[in-house]
Structure 1
Amino acid sequence: MQSADQLVRSVYDRIAERYDDRWGRHMRQPQDRLTAGLALLPGARCVDIGCGTGTETVEMLRQVAPGEVVGVDCSEEMLRAARARAASAGLKLSTRRADAEAFLRRAEASSFDVVTLRFCLAYLEWGAALPCLGRIVRPGGRVGILSNLSSSTPQAYAIYCQMADELDLGRVKLPVPDSAGQVSEALERGGLCTVEAWTHRFRLWFGSGAQVAGWLQESGFVTHAALREFPPEVLQPLCDEFATRLEAYRELEGIPLDFELAGVIAVRP
């Protein structure tokens, strides 16, 4: 049986080629806003944790040249795509395959001018991990966080809760912050001062409940370890029932999924 970390890694290895189309393209505005807030300077040393296919990692690399950006991700296929993206831009990207928490534990103190974590808070104990960022960023350096909030995909979460109650499985609380304020508070416990905090909301439309269910899996949005407890012959009927119930949310434009993201920029005095 796969561990939780192995499950996450295998999901992102599988979807790496489709990730930008399923998820990354919807993130352009908040990603660009976070990168702009980092106030990057030539010669800086940066690390982008949860770099994915490297869309923003390569932009960071352009802005800090001849400095360095280290792209960190648990998926080797994601890192492969990030390196290829950098190479096509005539740049060389340093990469590390590591889980976010493992990388934070091993990173040297005051070793980076800029540290970013993009969409990986769901895969670590973020309340304990975020204060650790103050240790690895240099004085005057910046930290940038971009994360889904627990208010995202309320339509899908409501149906999950219904089915969990009916099957007496017990509900799982979404493992992400409730607000940008919670992210700021955790960073401040590590000696960082928030200079900007914001939320970004958007809606995706789908033609059917089956399309929603498929997207949740193919985008990497659903990678919970509980999924590995179910054999395929049990999981597929549950997914089918989940898709059917999503039809209750149908509007004229289709079936919506709502998202709310938090972006936070903090500085180490």
Structure 2
Amino acid sequence: MVSALRADPSNADQAAAWDGREGAYWAEHADRFDRAMRAYRGAFLAAADVSAADRVLDIGCGTGETTRDLARQASGGRVLGVDLSAAMLRVARQRAAAEALPNADFVQADAQIHSFPAAAWDLAVSRSGTMFFADPVAAFRNIGGALRPGGRLVQLVWQPLAGNEWFLSLTRALALGRPVPTPAADAPGPFSLSDPARVRTVLGAAGFTDVRLDPHGEEMWFGEDAADAERFVLGMLGWMLDLLDEEDRPRAVDGLRATLAAHQSDSGVLYASAAWLIRAARP
């Protein structure tokens, strides 16, 4: 089946991943991914501060947990979830229908270029979905144009790599302790908005003002126990084993098992993480 997604050419790789195998894996394991981020839910929704009549854009909505949360709060308004992944959006639509949330809508689109109605929304939010734009200034400018004057932007993004034990521990284990290749600081990737100076530069160039970054640290959940977490992590990061020879692959898996076992607790397998809650305004 040919995807109907129209993406900016600069986002072609991201579109292929999220509207392909990566998005399909997230859709299949929607509950796990939502639970992994669950500790940030309260602070994120408090920052969004949605009222009953608000019209809200949820950028990179995935399988729609945040969209549904906000739709319940904006009971007299509307929430539109936007994502690259057809597979994740199918899950999002099914769950919104099951919860009888007629004010939650979804569209498959590249938010960097999608033609949103101008000045039609009160708020744009994103829970870890804005770090993957090839041209973030263009993307945030496009999102800003969809907001009414005085509209707000609230997003959750990762702090620098050093504060995110989950990423360091899991990837180092699968790389046998060798340095893990990471994208350049200005390239799409999970840490592309981790530098506060870059965040302010990007959002300022896109027309936003009153940019504020608040640090939050929470534990991320990866499974009920080490064996459960191993299956989940290898589904996400198993591609790293393809970079190793046959002798090193079992050693990498052993290293992964060791770190997962070391982080197993009565509450499951938990790793420290650090994120920014970013607020900004459209003048």
TM-score, normalised relative to structure 2: 0.72
Question: Quick one: which amino acid aligns to residue 157 of structure 1?
Answer: T
- 1:267 equivalent to 2:267? Answer no
**Larger relative CO (CA 8 A, sep 6+): 1 or 2?**
1
Cα offsets for 1:114-145 (capped at 9, x unmatched): 11122223432364334543332211111111
The 1:213–1:172 alpha-carbon spacing in structure 2 relative to 1, beyond 3 Å, is farther
- 1:202 equivalent to 2:211? Answer no
1:189 is matched with 205
Separation of aligned partners in 2, 1:137 and 1:125: 21
SS at match of 2:112: helix
Separation of aligned partners in 1, 2:220 and 2:79: 32
CA RMSD of aligned residues (A): 3.6
User: Identity over aligned residues, as a percent?
Assistant: 23
Separation of aligned partners in 1, 2:131 and 2:230: 19
Separation of aligned partners in 1, 2:159 and 2:233: 16
1:258 is displaced (CA, Å) by 3.2
Separation of aligned partners in 1, 2:173 and 2:181: 11
SS at match of 2:219: strand
SS at match of 1:123: coil
1:57 is displaced (CA, Å) by 0.7
2:232 is matched with 215
Question: Quick one: which amino acid aligns to residue 24 of structure 2?
Answer: D
2:18 is matched with 8
1:90 is displaced (CA, Å) by 2.1
2:149 is matched with 139
Structure 2: 5+ residue stretches without partners: 1-11
Count of residues paired in the alignment: 253
- 1:245 equivalent to 2:255? Answer yes
Separation of aligned partners in 2, 1:72 and 1:237: 43
Q: Is contact 1:72-1:98 (8 Å) kept? A: yes
1:109 is matched with 118
Separation of aligned partners in 1, 2:97 and 2:247: 43
TM-score, normalised relative to structure 1: 0.75
Task: Flag the structure with higher helix content.
Answer: 1
The 1:203–1:94 alpha-carbon spacing in structure 2 relative to 1, beyond 3 Å, is closer
2:93 is matched with 83
Structure 1 runs (4+) greater than 6 angstroms displaced:
234-238
Equivalent position to 2:182, from 149, 162, 172? 172
